Structure 1
């Protein structure tokens, strides 16, 4: 039975990016349906699939899964051979903790630097609370890379060596660091570049750049809309 993922606009919907990226990265076939984030009846359209009225939503036969972290866990159970989480139990526990922290944390940074893939790279002054989030991100990434970067014996550029569910969760904030010209150290910068170079992310971004709908609340330069 084919999976179906309900998502929002690719340019802006950071929540939608996460499970879409995981599905693509792990070569799991799926169909997608897009509900415009700017639609007047957005919640009503999404509630036709999920009681939460938010994207993303994964439809897997009778199973309805919402919230990006829950979708990743469902995929890990559904496709155990896909290595969505690290095989080593200690690394896996760390990856799940890190992913869950991203799901509910770093709100100061996310609120002032929304995901916007068509905005040119241009530095923006951030408040101190957002800068604290950036430093915390660097610490988390450094620890993951130092402890688990060999990825079960195989080195790789992602948090646990090979691409994992944790990287899917952190991909949107990696785009924010690039888009807003946020200064980070060499390790964090290399990680941001690795996310942007992943074929699944490249595909998402190319599709995002074809979109035309503008959401003023996610355009920090509003009323100017800057596009690459």
Structure 2
């Protein structure tokens, strides 16, 4: 029990320090919104986001509606909007947005069931100590966070996650094969993720896979990690 409390304190200190220091990185990344104003003064959907939504099985009309109502920068937010409006009878009808002279609606936040979290699956087969686990989870946090900030379509989602408390959960993974299996499932679902390979300076062999970090909506991340136990 004392070890669990010590690990929790170490993780909290590592993660909070990284999140605080990453604000300067956000400014350097300077990831902005997408300009959708055209010469004919019409609103157009972000086609990069549309392609992502189409790959998820969402119709083009529903994708356009979702992007219009969520700021037109994030396929994740748009998909959440679509899933929240599946009962709308006109969801898949041709979408005709109003002229740009009419202010678009404020971005619609998803329901609680679609809130965001960052999850870390730790390789428990290599005997890392408490401090080592905290260090590896911290590395995974910063690596995935930086990756997300480099994607214009993910910036709004990251901001929503931070405003919601930046939820982070650490889970038990069995071994390297288990982490690789989870990574493949994340790829299939287009879940942002990052696998940490340790330099091997302390405790473990160089190149050891230590932590898999994933980020996204609760319902989606849970499809990959929902059956794992807390560390």
TM-score, reference length from structure 1: 0.25
In proportion to residue count, which structure has more strand?
2
